[in-house]
A = this chain, B = another copy of it.
Amino acid sequence: MDLEPEASENKYAADFPSIKAAQERISSYVHTTPVLSSETLNSMSGRRLFFKCECFQKGGAFKFRGACNAVFSLPDDQAVKGVVTHSSGNHAAALSLAAKLRGIPAHIVIPENAPKCKVENVLRYGGRVTWSEAAMRSREEVAAKVIQETGAVLIHPYNDSRIISGQGTISLELVQQIPQIDTIIVPISGGGLISGVAIAAKSINPKIRILAAEPKGADDAAQSKASGKIITLPETKTIADGLRAFLGSLTWPVVRDLVDDIIVVDDKEVIEAMRLCYNILKVAVEPSGAIGLAAVLSDRFRNNPAWKDCDNVGIIVSGGNVDLDVLWEALSKQA
């Protein structure tokens, strides 16, 4: 981990030094998450798979890394007024927990269609909830109102340098845990996670391939890559509730330049991957957390000659916050 970064030109919202600084800032608060492996899943995929289990992170998702970095980066005079965000769940819970640790209020705007367990996490960590409609516009309006009333600082779920740097700490850990890693598969939504992971990993070793996994019903990132500009969609339809956001101004350049490919999978594949995570890995994952496994098992990945020599594949299991009844319904419907 003492390697000097080879590709740090400071042209993105985060860089190797900002990610190293984040690691130092948050290290006493976050879990170093374990890496699991399974011979059964290795056989199924024909590779060696290394599951970086962010579902075991505090709050049940990687989001705590970025939120913690953002909250502890704030100068005291700003922090005292609190933080605010709008999020369908994991970022909201993460921000609530980080704010609680710093002893400041967290105002959380939650869309009415958020998963129950994610709302419970926010409440468990002392977040102050304001409800909005599901549409992004309503979420933003309600958040603006909260800011006006409280003076709280908006912490965007992904289009924020501090967030991106925090998420990048996953790569620092993973490369230390599994030095032979040659590929990392990362769920993509707004792009905060994959931006941090890509910048950190490619700084350490530019040969590490970064592949995104995206659900078909919200494949804006794949469309953006294909057309060379940010594409947003009129609507999204996927079981992966954590992957319905669109790329932002800070994450798009990283996705454009540093993400080697985007593997699109359908919900059926995601659900089957959830089942495998549960049955084989013994890990409770949310749909977004299972999509990396779905990607590595998909024909699009297996049959692509470009990825033939991806031998040691890191899979970011991004989170584990799934209502058991949702999991059960999805699995039994498909069985």
Residues in chain A within 8 A of chain B (CB atoms): 31, 34, 36-37, 39-40, 53, 55-56, 58, 60, 117, 124, 275, 278-279, 281-285, 320-321, 324-325, 327-328, 331-332
Sampled A-B contacts (12; CB under 8 Å):
A34-B36, A36-B56, A55-B282, A60-B282, A275-B324, A278-B284, A282-B283, A282-B284, A282-B320, A283-B284, A284-B284, A328-B328
Residues of B with C-beta under 8 A to A117: 279
Of all chain B residues, the one with the shortest Cβ separation from A319 is: B282
Q: How would you classify the secondary structure of chain A's contact residues: helix, strand, loop or mixed?
A: helix
* Residue pair A39, B55 in contact (C-beta under 8 Å): no
Residues of B with C-beta under 8 A to A281: 56
* Residue pair A324, B331 in contact (C-beta under 8 Å): yes
Residues of B with C-beta under 8 A to A320: 282
* Residue pair A124, B282 in contact (C-beta under 8 Å): no
Residues of B with C-beta under 8 A to A56: 36, 281-282
Residues of B with C-beta under 8 A to A278: 284, 324
Of all chain B residues, the one with the shortest Cβ separation from A282 is: B320
Residues of B with C-beta under 8 A to A284: 278-279, 282-284
* Residue pair B60, A39 in contact (C-beta under 8 Å): no
Residues of B with C-beta under 8 A to A285: 282
Residues of B with C-beta under 8 A to A331: 324
A328 CA to B284 CA, complexed, in Å? 13
A332 CA to B285 CA, complexed, in Å? 19
A126 CA to B124 CA, complexed, in Å? 45
A211 CA to B213 CA, complexed, in Å? 45
